[in-house]
Amino acid sequence: MTAQYTRPLPRSWWLRKANYFVFMLRELTSVAVFAYAIFLIVVMWQAADAASFSGLFETLHEPLSIAIHLLLLVLALIHTGTWIALTPKVVVLWQDDEQVDPDLVAGMNGVAWLVVSGLILWLVLA
Amino acid sequence: MTSRQSGASAFFWLLFSGGGTASAMILPALVIVTGIAVPAGWVSESSLLDLVRNPLTRLVLVGLVFLFLFHWAHRFRYALVDLGLRRLGKQAWIFYGLALGGTLIASVAALRL
């Protein structure tokens, strides 16, 4: 078998066009998802001991923690926005012989996101 | 591609997709809780601790860690391939292994609470 030919491509290809950059940014929001998963493990680990949890709770008040969280929030919102925008391409709904408007499918996912977010904030803050 | 390979990639794609949906719906709210609500004093330490120690919360958190990590594993390794790190990105076991390991640690963390 002959080796597969891969066309050489400079590693900076994604910096050349705005939509290439948005694509790469979208893919790299997964790093924020990873980071928060690790953080959730730390939260659960520290919660076994009230004193450890207290230390973690104090750390969340540090400016560095708040700054990292704001960065994570921006990436999380980019992920949510781009993911919801893609839902009509993954879930194509039909009503009788007519395709359900893709904007309606995305819109319903957007509403679901608002409801779920509201429920979480109510659960934690109420 | 053999059918076994495509079965495995369909499985990992489902986890990527499930994790993508879970994180799209839930992650911004969670980040707002720990990054804004806590420093702003909208939530007390004891109520947050009670919530994290609740068995149902722990079960949900382990599920989220599982989905988040497998979403990351799939998307990030293909992003590495696209960034020219083809060899690293093709080592699927590193990424899915980390995701599995993280899920196991999360399960231990939830059980020792």
pLDDT confidence band for A1 (50 / 70 / 90): low
What is the C-alpha to C-alpha distance for residues A38 and A53, in angstroms, rounded to an integer? 16
- CA A18 – CA A40 distance, rounded (Å): 33
Residue in A closest to B51 by C-alpha? A124
Written as six digits, the tokens of A37 are: 């998963």
Q: Do B37 and A66 touch (CB under 8 A)?
A: no
pLDDT, tens digit (0-9, with 9 covering 90-100), for A29-81: 999 999 999 999 999 999 999 999 999 999 999 999 999 999 999 999 999 99
pLDDT interval class at A110 (50, 70, 90): very high
If DSSP codes are grouped into helix, strand and coil, which group holds residue A12? coil
Q: Does B65 touch chain A (CB under 8 A)?
A: yes
Tokens of A75: 């990436």
The amino acid sitting at A87 is: T
Record: contact A14-B83, CB cut-off 8 A: yes
Q: What is the pLDDT of residue A76?
A: 98
Among all chains, which residue has been given the structure tokens 């690293």?
Answer: B88
- Do B38 and B48 meet the contact criterion of CB atoms below 8 Å apart? yes
Say what the pLDDT of residue B1 is. Answer: 45
H or E element that contains A99: strand A98-99
Gap between the Cα atoms of B22 and B38, Å rounded: 23
Q: Among B80, B52, B59, which Cα is nearest to A48's?
A: B52
pLDDT computed for residue B3 by the predictor: 56
We find that the CATH architecture of domain B3-111 is Up-down Bundle (1.20)
CATH architecture type of domain A13-89: Up-down Bundle (1.20)
Are the beta carbons of A116 and B113 separated by less than 8 Å? no
pLDDT mean values, one per 10 residues, chain B (113 residues): 68 93 97 97 96 96 98 95 87 94 97 84
- Extract the tokens encoding B18: 């499930």
The reply to whether ipTM tops 0.90 is yes
